[in-house]
Amino acid sequence: MKFCLLYWIISISIVSIHKVTAQDSLFRTATEFGLIQELNSYLQTNQPVGYGKIDKKGIRFDYRFDQEMGKFYPINQARENIHHKISLEGYDKINKVNLYGKASYSISDLKQQKWNNVLFVNPHNPFTLGDSTGGDYDREIFSMEGAVITSINQDESLTVGLFGKYSAGNNADQTDPRPLMNAIRYTIRPGVTYEKNNWLFGANLTYEGYRENISISSVNSNWVHHFFLFQGLGNAISRTGTGYSRRYDGNGVGGDLQIAYNTGRLDNIVEIGYLRNKESARDGSVSSFFKAGNFEESSYHIANIASFRQDKQTTHQLHLKGDYNPTKGIWFDQIQMVDGNAQHIWQVYNQSVKHKENTVSADFKYVFWRKAADLDNSYILSLSGKYRNSETNHYPEGYFQKYATLFTQLNAKKWFKLKDITHLVVAANAGYRSAISKQSDFAGIQLNDLYSYPLYDYLTAEFWQAQLSVELNRRLNLNGFSLRMFIVPSFNYIQTLNDTPSFRQKDRSRFEIAVGFIF
């Protein structure tokens, strides 16, 4: 059904696009198309009006296949992943209205996944559900997003925009116990900017919604399974039976403010923002549900994106970003009782903060872009770094983990013109993550050797990684309609430097190939 919906979206988009021709579109490679959101300073913020700053038109349709394997991976994720994905993305402008849209559909074969029977739950939420049996999961995810931007006054100084995103997915395993997860997440973000002389002032609001239903069943009713209601750091309550059910509900509310200064050569944007997220979990039936934890997260961020145009061909960019994310998980102590209607219900007699995590992140990125008029001798060099400091405490037992890591990466992209209608783009990157400090205490957790320590070892592991991709694209003319066909194979390799029993092998690799069209 989702595939049919995506096919309908693609068909309508191709038929109704506003006469995007070779003269309208300046995208000559898939790499250049992908760099739009990476190198556009305004799209590094949460301001939807940023899509109105794009002066190019074009559509990209592609199919991607990738396979990931190796034993250096988080213990609650699949050992091997095989993905297929088709996507359509486009930019257009009709009169004074800028349009952006993207739709994608993916199917994944997840091999040997266990301890994880959730799909779209916030990654910081400690209240997850899992089983130790695991299995091979089939996952489908459909996602679509879009933005509409237009000026609303005569001198075009006041601009409004609206961004929306919707994702729906399901995940299922066909062996006992048989979890089935259905989830949706959506985001609505309206924004407004006002420009005066060289200054821009902006504000946007954000609303997020989330819902997920999990149902676990068994064909063989004679076999009892263990289900783990995780509370954080691997500490869990165990339930036994042939099935289990859970429902998550959540929402988030926040906003951002932007101020920018543009002289033509220098473009500098500062953004501050806040987002408040809440998620709740309930197990069992509607009439007799067990409260499986409430999660709360506050996200504070500040960013500065500076872009300096040295000359017509040379651009420098500097990205600085800081995030602070305090979270807490509230647990409910409950006892099962019989109400006046002779129904078994769970009665809450105490609630307390069970889990706290404070995360501080600091990112920097420097980009040097040398762009020739015909893409000959164009290249991009960038250096980036990400510092992460996390402290997690579990109450009242006193379990904890603390760690600080730094990941640095060097990227390079180079364009080559093979013939008048053919381009080659080579991209490579290499990175290294170091553990600055780490400390933990999981003594007393039943699953510490099976879950707590392996996941902690992954989060704090030192590793190096390298990736190489090559794009070959060629212009085609079909009855006067110009388009570009491209193929992009890539390979990524990662290896840890730690010697730990958590990883029987120390590496992981990922191969991907993408084919598609730009028109």
Greatest alpha-carbon span in the chain = 82
Here the tokens at position 99 are 């349009």
The span from the CA of 126 to the CA of 230, in Å, is: 7
Distance set, CA 328 to CA 9, 298, 312 (Å): 40, 9, 50
pLDDT number for residue 89: 94
Here the tokens at position 297 are 């997260």
SS3 string of 449-471? Answer: HHHHHHHHHHHCCCEEEEEEEEE
The three-class DSSP label of residue 21 is coil
- Specify whether the CB–CB gap between 226 and 237 falls below 8 A: no
Task: Provide the domain count of the chain.
Answer: 1
Which amino acid is it at 162? L
pLDDT number for residue 28: 66
The three-class DSSP label of residue 189 is strand
* Host domain of residue 391: 2-518
Distance set, CA 249 to CA 184, 354, 401 (Å): 10, 19, 28
Backbone angles phi, psi at 178, to 5 degrees: -105, 90
Nearest to 360 by CA among 405, 399, 401: 405
- Specify whether the CB–CB gap between 482 and 21 falls below 8 A: yes
β-partners of residue 260 are 200, 269
Contacts of 55 (CB under 8 A, 6+ apart): none
For the chain, helix, strand, coil in percent to 5 are 10, 65, 25
The span from the CA of 96 to the CA of 179, in Å, is: 49
Nearest to 381 by CA among 415, 418, 416: 415
pLDDT by residue for the chain (519 residues), tens digit each?
Answer: 444 444 444 444 443 444 444 344 456 677 778 788 777 889 999 999 999 988 888 899 999 999 999 999 999 999 999 999 999 999 999 988 999 999 999 999 999 999 999 999 999 999 999 998 889 999 999 999 999 999 999 888 999 999 999 999 999 998 999 999 999 999 999 999 999 999 999 999 999 999 999 999 999 988 889 999 999 999 999 999 999 999 999 999 999 999 999 998 999 999 999 999 999 999 998 778 999 999 999 999 999 999 999 998 899 999 999 999 999 999 999 999 998 887 889 999 999 999 999 999 999 999 999 987 767 778 999 999 999 999 999 999 999 999 999 999 999 999 988 877 788 999 999 999 999 999 999 999 999 999 999 999 999 999 999 999 999 999 888 877 788 899 999 999 999 998 888 887 899 999 999 999 998
Distance set, CA 384 to CA 44, 304, 315, 431, 462 (Å): 15, 14, 16, 9, 17
The span from the CA of 428 to the CA of 42, in Å, is: 26
The span from the CA of 385 to the CA of 361, in Å, is: 10
Q: Does the model's pTM come out above 0.85?
A: yes
Give, in degrees to the nearest 5, the angle at Cα 9 between 6 and 11. 110
The span from the CA of 233 to the CA of 226, in Å, is: 18
Is the bond preceding 177 in cis, omega lying within 30 degrees of 0? yes
Here the tokens at position 254 are 């926040």
- Report the half-sphere exposure of 423 (CA within 13 A, side-chain side): 24
pLDDT number for residue 17: 46
Write down the residue that tokens 């190198």 correspond to: 39
pLDDT number for residue 499: 87
